[in-house]
Every structure is written in C-alpha cells, then in structure tokens.
Structure 1
Amino acid sequence: HGRVVNMASVTGPYVSNEGEAAYSAAKAGMVGLTHALALEVGRSGVTVNAVAPGWIATGASTPEELLAAQNTPLGRAGTPEEVAAAVLFLASDGASYVNGAVIVVDGGNILQERKV
C-alpha cells in the first residue's frame, strides 16, 4: 500500500496565462499523469492524487501576484501550510479510497469567470 501525491497547479488544467504555454502544458500533463497512474497502480493498493494550488504567498511571489490574489473569492492568497494540509490528507489513511483526484487549493478562484 502506498500514496503518491503529485504537485500540479490550477494553471494548465483549469486556467492559463499569456506567455506560460510551457508551464501550463507541464501542469496539465501532471494531472493526466496522475489519472493514468491512478488506474495503473490502484489494484496494487497505491493511490495517486494531485494537489493544484492557485495563488499561494511564498517568498517568490511578486507584488503583482499578491495583488491578484486579493481578487479571489476569499480575498487573499493561500499559504504554503494550506497546500501542505491537502497533501497531508491525501497521504493519510483517511484518503485510502481517494484515487485519481485533484484537490484544488485556490480559495475558489477558478470558479470565477475571467474578466479582461
């Protein structure tokens, strides 16, 4: 028995940005890999899931990113600890019947229609 938790992103499988084709493709591919592996190794007792963070405040966040995060439905960026909580859940015995899932940790931001 085991757990695999992949790190994806909302950018790629759910949203995209100009100039980020390679990043979007890589993260969408991570979701596809998660689904395929979940099917391939599930009967061996291994679950494969992914976490897809949105705006997360890190030391690498730009001022523009932190400002954009204020427009999420929760009005703020997420924290690394909030992403870690999703990873810990997927790695736990409590997630033993969760397989092939993608948990979005973005404060509900992908629910909004993109306004340009």
Structure 2
Amino acid sequence: LQEAARRVRDGGRIIAVSTGGTKMFFTQTALYLGSKGAVEQFVRVLSRELGPRRVTVNALSPGFTDTDLLPERDRAIAAGMSPFGRIGAPRDVADVAVFLASDQARWLTGENIQAGGGVA
C-alpha cells in the first residue's frame, strides 16, 4: 500500500484485498486473518492521507469463492451460509473490483466492501 500510494496518480484508485473471514471466527486462521485485519486498518488510514489528492482507498473482502483456496470439503457448508445458496464465482468478486476502480465509486473511500453473497 505504501508503494501504491507513491505511484497512484491524483484522482486514482487503490483497492486492497482482504477477506470476509475477518468478520468470522475460524480456528487455525489467526495469522491469515490478523494480516487481513491489518490491511483493513491500513486502508482506513491511507484513505485519509490520500484524500486531498482525490485518491480513493478501499478494501475488497471476498467471501467463499470458487478458487483453489476453498477446500472441496467446505464448499457445501459455505454455499449453505449464503442467501443465494451458492459460493461466489471469481467474476462475482471481479465485478465489485471493477466498480471500485470506476468513477462511480468516487465517493467511497476508507471502506471495506464485502463481496460475500450475504455471508456475514
């Protein structure tokens, strides 16, 4: 994020990736979730620092998504946690990232956008 702050143009966008897991309590994930929680705090602070340059800084927190990171054994349970009854597709998360990078998101900064299909 420091390097992104140095390189981003005025009026630009920085999107950091966190995880919906920071809203839950999974065992054996303390280091991973701790690092993502730190990212969320960095985003809040950096958004204030870069605001005068009209740079937005947000975190995007995917939920259970169809990637190699989600073990097969957990997929049915994860799908059952969403009101949509499925896990997310990479495209579901990518579309949110595209929105955050667009001019339509110019009034969002310092936010943690949950892209988890309603799992909280």
Moved more, 54-63 or 73-82: 54-63
Q: Show the counterpart of 2:89.
A: 79
Q: Show the counterpart of 2:47.
A: 38
Q: Which runs of 5+ in 2 are unaligned?
A: 1-10
1:34 Cα deviation (Å)?
0.7
Q: How does 1:50-69 map to 2 (within 5 A)?
A: 50-69=59-78
1:16 Cα deviation (Å)?
2.3
More helix by share: 2
1:103 Cα deviation (Å)?
1.1
Equivalent AA in structure 1 for residue 68 of structure 2: G
Report the Cα distance in structure 1 between the residues aligned to 2:100 and 2:119, rounded to whole angstroms: 22
Detail structure 1 runs of 4+ shifted over 6 Å in the superposition.
none
- TM-score in terms of structure 2 length: 0.86
1:109 Cα deviation (Å)?
1.1
- The CA deviation string for residues 39-65 of structure 1, in whole angstroms up to 9 with x for no partner, is 111111110011101100113431122
Report the Cα distance in structure 2 between the residues aligned to 1:60 and 1:39, rounded to whole angstroms: 32
Equivalent AA in structure 2 for residue 79 of structure 1: A
Q: Show the counterpart of 1:89.
A: 99
Contact 1:6 / 1:51 at 8 angstroms: preserved in 2? yes
How many pairs does the alignment contain? Answer: 109
Contact 1:55 / 1:65 at 8 angstroms: preserved in 2? no
